[in-house]
Amino acid sequence: MYDFDIAIIGGGPGGYVAAIEASRKGLKTALIEKKYLGGTCLNNGCIPSKSLLKSAEIADLLRNKAKKRGFTFEKLTYDYSQILENSKKNTKRLKSGLTNLLSNKDITIFDGEASFINKNEISIKNRNKVIKISSNNIIISTGSKPFFPDNLKPNNKRIVDSDYVLNSKELPSSICILGGGYIGIEFAYLYNSFGVDVTIVESTNSILGFVDNEIVNELRKNYLKNGIKILESTKINEIDEKDDSISISFSNVNDQVDLNFDLLLLSTGRIPNTDNLELKNTKVKTDNFGFIKVDNKYLTNIDNIYAIGDVIGGSMLAHKASEEGSKVIEGIINPDIIKEDFIVPACIYCQPEIAYVGLTEENLIDMKIDYKISKYPFKANGKSLADDNVNGFCKLLSDHNEKILGAHIIGKGCSEMISEITLVMQNKLQLESVVNTVHPHPTLSEIFLEASLNLKDKGRNS
């Protein structure tokens, strides 16, 4: 007889959703979290960073658009420490809500670091105290952590990581951001909006290499216009830390340059957080990068151990982990259920925003899939014009049977547009369902409508 029906290691978006679903189904449930409920997203990721990015957007608006609207002031001033404190208040509020939510469920929560004794037993260490529990099924939802190159580690002096950005009350005068992925691109916008001299260094041939090329080109154009410097296909050769700056030597195929900065921000990807799980005691298999291997029901090679979220790789997104948290419990309760794949949209909260779902045009070309393409600009949309947000466009890709294969948007507010497109794709609806739906005017949602009409050669405003 086991202590629990389900034990979940990790209380992030995947883990706590799995715990709630398991409890709802009447399973005796344990949730183990070594640090903070809510995981990286809530505590030092999505939520605090988006609060800071909103403040950056306000600063950008006041500096660059207020005069056009008829607002004038002698000098823009701000208290960055207060801006930072506001982001922490939002996090605290959501953490409190999550704690209250879980406390009202029939879930036993353990504070401590979990490790496997065997496939059914877990050791939980909290300071000097160790307890052991057993469970019929165990779900690993331990998330991911920042990856740092062998020769570079944050020291919170001149070399820093994203945690530093979210907690430092002082702005540097200049910063080099190593890595042009989600995090690097968002923090570049944050710092640039507050007048920091920003340089992005990307080792591959393009920032956001996983995003549709046209979208990336539009973002690159906007960033360069705003003074953000972008060095692609560029590597760091040498670093010299000084008391008051950091000197970095860069090189690419054409050039070598030495530059000085106040800070170097490492934004070089993430790796699975499995170091202390003692997976060897279970013989759970991982891939060459350490991600846990699972089947289409999130079951590992061990018959009672499951894994979800960042720890299994793929898109490292909180909403993906949450959906997997729900799906894994469905599969445990009903082993014969047929798992349907779900489509995962993604958003990048720079300005202009980026949102996308499905295949890129480059994917379709590589896969030799015949497709149709439609683009509709934000500057042709009434709401965008009213808001002075005319940069960007929506790009739709469909097959010749009017099935949407991918959607890629750049423009302010597009993170709130992508869900409608995802709904259409997830439910295998045709374009007809979009064009037959009345969209309110003036709204950004009309951009998707117009792009859909264009695919049917029925555009009303283009």
Burial class (CB within 10 angstroms; exposed 0-12, middle 13-18, buried 19+) of 380:
middle
- The answer to whether 441 is a known catalytic residue is yes
232, part of any domain: yes
Say yes or no to pLDDT of 43 above 90: no
**Measured distance CA(234)–CA(237) in Å, rounded:** 9
Say yes or no to pLDDT of 457 above 90: no
153, part of any domain: no
- pLDDT tens column, 50-71: 999 999 999 999 988 888 899 9
309, part of any domain: yes
Q: Is the same domain home to 182 and 203?
A: yes
**Measured distance CA(244)–CA(437) in Å, rounded:** 59
* Structural domains in the chain (count): 3
- pLDDT tens column, 316-360: 999 999 999 999 999 999 988 877 789 999 999 999 999 999 999
Query: What's the confidence (pLDDT) of residue 460?
Result: 82
Say yes or no to pLDDT of 289 above 80: yes
Q: Give me the count of residues in the chain.
A: 462
Query: What's the confidence (pLDDT) of residue 248?
Result: 96
Looking at residue 278, which CATH number applies to its domain? Answer: 3.50.50.60
Q: Is the same domain home to 433 and 302?
A: no
69, part of any domain: yes
Q: Is the same domain home to 193 and 248?
A: yes
Q: Is the same domain home to 201 and 234?
A: yes
Say yes or no to pLDDT of 45 above 90: no
The CA–CA distances, whole Å, from 124 to 11, 33, 103, 278 equal: 14, 9, 20, 12
Q: Is the same domain home to 370 and 314?
A: no
| Beta pairing class for 174-178 and 159-160 | unpaired
Query: What's the confidence (pLDDT) of residue 459?
Result: 76
Q: Is the same domain home to 221 and 297?
A: no
151, part of any domain: no
Query: What's the confidence (pLDDT) of residue 243?
Result: 87
Query: What's the confidence (pLDDT) of residue 127?
Result: 85
Q: Is the same domain home to 191 and 278?
A: no
Q: Which two tokens stand for residue 87?
A: 């982001």
47, part of any domain: yes
Mean of pLDDT values over 235-259: 91
**Element holding 454 (H helix, E strand):** helix 445-455
Coil, strand or helix at 203: coil
Q: Is the same domain home to 316 and 423?
A: no
Looking at residue 392, which CATH number applies to its domain? Answer: 3.30.390.30
Query: What's the confidence (pLDDT) of residue 272?
Result: 96
User: Which amino acid makes up residue 113?
Assistant: E
Query: What's the confidence (pLDDT) of residue 320?
Result: 97
Between 72 and 7, where is the model more confident? 7
- How are strands ordered across the β-sheet holding 404-410? 346-348, 354-358, 404-410, 393-398, 372-377
Q: What is the pTM of this model?
A: 0.95
154, part of any domain: no
DSSP 88-111: HHHHHHHHHHHHHHHHTSSEEEEE
Query: What's the confidence (pLDDT) of residue 204?
Result: 96
Q: Is the same domain home to 8 and 138?
A: yes
Query: What's the confidence (pLDDT) of residue 254?
Result: 83
Query: What's the confidence (pLDDT) of residue 368?
Result: 97
Query: What's the confidence (pLDDT) of residue 353?
Result: 98
Q: Is the same domain home to 309 and 388?
A: no
Query: What's the confidence (pLDDT) of residue 73?
Result: 82
- pLDDT tens column, 381-425: 999 999 999 999 999 999 999 999 999 999 999 999 999 999 999
Q: Give the domain extent around 327.
A: 4-146+271-333
Q: Is the same domain home to 293 and 384?
A: no
Preceding omega of 377 cis (within 30 degrees of 0):
no
Mean of pLDDT values over 185-205: 97
Say yes or no to pLDDT of 306 above 80: yes
Q: Is the same domain home to 182 and 254?
A: yes
From 268, 292, 324, the end of a domain falls on 268
Give the list of residues 6+ apart from residue 60 with CB closer than 8 angstroms, or none.
Answer: 193, 351
- pLDDT tens column, 136-162: 999 999 999 999 987 889 998 999 999
